[in-house]
Amino acid sequence: MSIAQLVRPQGVIAHLKVASKKQALQDLSARAARLTGHPERQIFDILIERERLGTTGVGQGIAIPHGKLPGLDRLHGLFARLDNPIDFEAIDDQPVDLIFLLLAPENAGADHLKALARVSRLLRDREMCEKLRASEEDEAIYALLIEQGQNEHV
């Protein structure tokens, strides 16, 4: 699965205005609910449950919240660039301004782990993150994600 199959254009938010980790997860859960057809509360609860196990703030201003959702048909990704960085309890204690939300079917197994690894590789690229942070439009961010992900598959 490529990044283009994982993230759809309507799953990219160039200007997410949130003030906290909880608010970011709530907003992204609402957007994911519209894209997946699953209840917002169910998505939010799964993300919060995962955060309780340990932060998904992986450092360098990046968070990759994720979870497995019963009844989901395929992997779904959403990407958000925050207008203002927020405390995400990241492993390096730095505020987060780039969030890649990943939802997987309950039985995804290795596909879920491969997708997490792919997203992690994508966002470890400092030059890529600089371009994402500099982009002001949803379409520009989507184009960057797709361009970068063309040669690799999840």
What count of residues does the chain have?
Answer: 154
DSSP 153: B
C-alpha–C-alpha distance, residues 128 and 118, integer Å:
14
Determine contact, residues 141/105, Cβ cutoff 8 Å. Answer: no
Tokens of 90: 């990241």
Tokens of 135: 């982009």
Number of DSSP helices (H) and strands (E) in the chain, helices first: 6, 6
C-alpha–C-alpha distance, residues 142 and 71, integer Å:
26
Q: Closest Cα partner for 20 from 57, 59, 67?
A: 57
Active-site annotation holder among 38, 66, 76, 112: 66
Is 66 marked active-site?
A: yes
Residue 146 carries which side chain, given as an amino acid letter?
Answer: I
Active site residues: 66
